[in-house]
Structure 1
């Protein structure tokens, strides 16, 4: 499966030291140049900047060609490029967390998964301990409703039994 990723899923996977689930879940992971730039930004966590400075072989950076869809104007440039690249490459999936970006991507008929979905898929394949990943994630700035987190924890704890 080929995916395009926005900045957020990569950042949080790096912060919780689970970035290596991506090549285990997906055949190809592609990011646009602006996402790479966001990962290199001075305000990005040091672990993120170091990782993207020498990216792994499984990560591809591609440049966008052509114009953005006007529906993307409300989004930041990284999200605009990620969605545009996903459309241009006709990928199977786009990795997005931002709600506004997810809404636009849905309108453009893209299949979406966010960080929690990535962690869920990794847990289903036995690649990670889901409750431990959530505990680590809760120590970052990642935000999701406690109701959603509790529901997912219950789901994946019951799968382990």
Structure 2
């Protein structure tokens, strides 16, 4: 089954929520699909993870379990449950791209010829569409408020792409 909406892993949801930019996902893509394991991660440990309430309230986000359990199991040797099921679901559904930040998860997705976009790419696209005025301050907030690792070179490249040098 082919879907026309992106499939998101946990990190873009939690990090955009942590900096108050969760709604960019709806404004950019209209709808999202998440794997059941992503929902489980958002609810892990009884903690109120950033993005949990937003996902629960979002009628534009659908949840689906990957059917290829052997693939999920194989991917779990290297990846966390959310990444593994997100990739397996994407292999089944062939979305336009997968929202994923973690390096190993992105590498695994690319092995299946899946296109990936991370939270920085989401912010760059939002700037390009006029949904945010500046990317630089949002990148700083990702670092400071969300604890998201961004190298100085990635921050500089993102600012340059957005004409904010």
Q: TM-score, normalised by structure 1?
A: 0.89
1:74 counterpart SS class = coil
1:57 counterpart SS class = coil
Matched, 1:85 2:74: no
Aligned to 2:54: 51
Matched, 1:133 2:121: no
Cα distance, 1:132 vs. partner?
2.3
Deviations 1:104-138 (A, max 9, x none): 11111001101100111011101013122112112
Aligned to 2:153: 147
Q: How many residues align?
A: 158
**Which consecutive unaligned segments of at least 5 residues does structure 2 have?**
none
Label 1:130 to 1:45 Cα distance change in 2 as closer, same or farther (>3 A). Answer: farther
Cα distance, 1:45 vs. partner?
4.6
Aligned to 2:30: 27
Matched, 1:63 2:68: no
Mapping 1:78-117, distance limit 5 Å = 78-117=82-121
What is the rounded CA distance, in whole Å, between the counterparts of 2:129 and 2:46 in structure 1? 34
Pick one of 42, 45, 68 that aligns with 2:45. 42
Q: TM-score, normalised by structure 2?
A: 0.87
Computed over aligned residues only, the root mean square deviation of the Cα atoms, in angstroms, reads 1.9
Shifted more, 125-134 versus 95-104: the winner is 125-134
What is the rounded CA distance, in whole Å, between the counterparts of 2:19 and 2:70 in structure 1? 32
**Which consecutive unaligned segments of at least 5 residues does structure 1 have?**
none
Label 1:96 to 1:46 Cα distance change in 2 as closer, same or farther (>3 A). Answer: closer
Matched, 1:123 2:127: yes
Cα distance, 1:16 vs. partner?
0.6
Moved runs in structure 1, 4+ residues, more than 2 A? Answer: 42-52, 66-71
Cα distance, 1:40 vs. partner?
1.3
Matched, 1:3 2:2: no
Label 1:12 to 1:66 Cα distance change in 2 as closer, same or farther (>3 A). Answer: same
What is the rounded CA distance, in whole Å, between the counterparts of 1:16 and 1:141 in structure 2? 10
